[in-house]
Structure 1
Amino acid sequence: MISRQALVAACDERLQAARFKDYTVNGLQVEGRERVARVMTGVTACQALVDEAVAWEADLLLVHHGYFWKNEPVEVTGMKRRRLAALLANDISLLAYHLPLDVHPELGNNARLAERLGFEVDGCADGELGEGLLWLGRPGEALTSAGGEGLDEQALAAHVARQLGREPLLIEGCRGPVERIAWCTGGAQDMITAAHEAGADVFISGEISERTTHLARELGIGYLAAGHHATERYGVQAMGAWLAAEYGITHRFVEIDNPA
């Protein structure tokens, strides 16, 4: 068991949350009980996840997508009221990290997605590791050897489907074997131009926009929309596992399926 204050401070420091100018509040968003023994993690603090935290008697809920986003209505009514009421009535803290959990070089979404997909990380196109959002790398040896004469877009898409448990949307654009890959989890589809400029053969993100298809085809870069939710499941799990190992708390990740 650990104090709420110590746990939040440890997470803030591990993710260097104070460095980021974000669209939301990073860190403690809702204050719950003083002592923490049970931490539940999930991608988004939707009502279904809050209900799971209540049923499991969690002390703290740690998510990637929390509340209080820039430009959202400030009134605590309707859906927002119900979510907050459930947390407050059950004395459950809500801890959320957005950009800090995307970019962390070990526990972040981009890092954990690369590990899951077997990519070798070369660096970032827009900063140092731990600062940039657009990651660059190569398919690992196990992936390239499975491709025989060379990994192509279709083989990469099939590999992503197996690893993430859902079929990605493939926009074909690569004109040769896949040797260099760029990726950014979540809603990062508009980084495709930067990925192309960085020399990537394929770019992977979570979401796709109408314009993304034309950009991929005309730039000559393959594009995989692998799912906003599906690409961002792994950072919070890594954070929960780290907290469990570091402080002896009980951790449970809950998957609330989301096809987007």
Structure 2
Amino acid sequence: MTVIDRHTLLDHLDMVLEASRFKDYGPNGLQVEGKREISRVISGVTASRALIEAAIAAKADAILVHHGLFWKGHDGRITGWMKERLRLLLAHDINLLAYHLPLDAHPTLGNNAQWGQRLGLTADGRFGDQNLGFIGSAGAYQDIQSLALQVRQLSGREPVVVPGDGRELRRVAWCSGGAQGFFEGAIAAGADVFLTGEISEPQAHYARETGVAFIGCGHHASERYGVQALGAALATELGLAHEFIEIDNPA
């Protein structure tokens, strides 16, 4: 079994994901310090209590997530659900590593790259804040119905579809998670349809008024793939044991 120092793992992740170049909503990298030597990593989307408990049962040395514990706007008090998550991590000496926007943006291991790959989409351009949005040819998808069907089959849930004007699809833009605010940028970039995790009230009107379709695929559903790919890469490149644990989330 391969054992590496925590700092070696952090240096490797920071280098691969280029974490320092992103302006983010919370700290990327080590959020909770645990044991120094790491051999087994559990990955998951969010540092929920359920994931932490599953990682404890799996005898993890580190948990790697997309959504960590600390975000701008939190008041910093360690009470309630936050206290319980931290208590479990500290009691079992487990490291918590979180990468948010760096994991969305990575060209091969990131959420957008991996989600696009599973949908049969290849990006040939970027758009939006910090170039997080991906855009490329619609490929085999000629209409919104065929794309929505593939999204439904991949995610196992019914997407929210605002069909626009029903035009033939030539260009598809996508950005995982809560990127509904990127819709206007996708329209300006020439997309015929935009996929993201969530929809807010304005996007339905934009779709109807511009003719560009919008598909809300689920925040969690669109962000399951990057952390899996990153964990698998750690196993290949560093020899660590890795397991992805899915904690279902209807969002």
TM range (shorter): over 0.9
CA distance in 2 between partners of 1:159 and 1:9 (Å)? 37
CA distance in 2 between partners of 1:168 and 1:93 (Å)? 35
Q: What corresponds to 1:163 in structure 2?
A: 154
Structure 1: runs of 5+ lacking an equivalent: 145-150
CA distance in 2 between partners of 1:221 and 1:12 (Å)? 37
Q: Does 1:37 align with 2:28?
A: no
CA distance in 2 between partners of 1:138 and 1:163 (Å)? 19
Q: What corresponds to 2:79 in structure 1?
A: 77
CA distance in 2 between partners of 1:83 and 1:185 (Å)? 26
Sequence identity percentage: 53
Q: What corresponds to 1:147 in structure 2?
A: none
Per the normalisation by structure 1, the TM-score is 0.93
CA distance in 1 between partners of 2:38 and 2:152 (Å)? 36
User: What is the SS of the residue equivalent to 2:83?
Assistant: helix
Partners of 1:174 and 1:201 within 8 A in 2: no
Partners of 1:174 and 1:202 within 8 A in 2: no
CA distance in 2 between partners of 1:120 and 1:51 (Å)? 36
Matches within 5 A, 1:217-236: 217-236=208-227
Per the normalisation by structure 2, the TM-score is 0.96
Q: What corresponds to 1:67 in structure 2?
A: 69
CA distance in 2 between partners of 1:11 and 1:59 (Å)? 16
Q: What corresponds to 2:60 in structure 1?
A: 58
Q: What corresponds to 1:15 in structure 2?
A: 17
Partners of 1:153 and 1:174 within 8 A in 2: no
User: What is the SS of the residue equivalent to 1:115?
Assistant: helix
CA distance in 2 between partners of 1:238 and 1:253 (Å)? 9
Structure 2: runs of 5+ lacking an equivalent: none
Partners of 1:42 and 1:62 within 8 A in 2: yes
Question: Residue 242 of structure 2 aligns to which amino acid in structure 1?
Answer: H
CA distance in 1 between partners of 2:138 and 2:207 (Å)? 20
CA shift for structure 1 position 254: 0.7
For residues 219-257 of structure 1, the C-alpha deviation after alignment (integer angstroms, 9 at most, x for no partner) is 111010001001000110011000000111111001111
Q: What corresponds to 2:166 in structure 1?
A: 175
Q: What corresponds to 1:123 in structure 2?
A: 125
List, as ranges, runs of 4+ consecutive aligned residues in structure 1 with deviation greater than 4 Å.
none
- Pairwise CA RMSD: 1.1
> How many aligned positions are there?
249
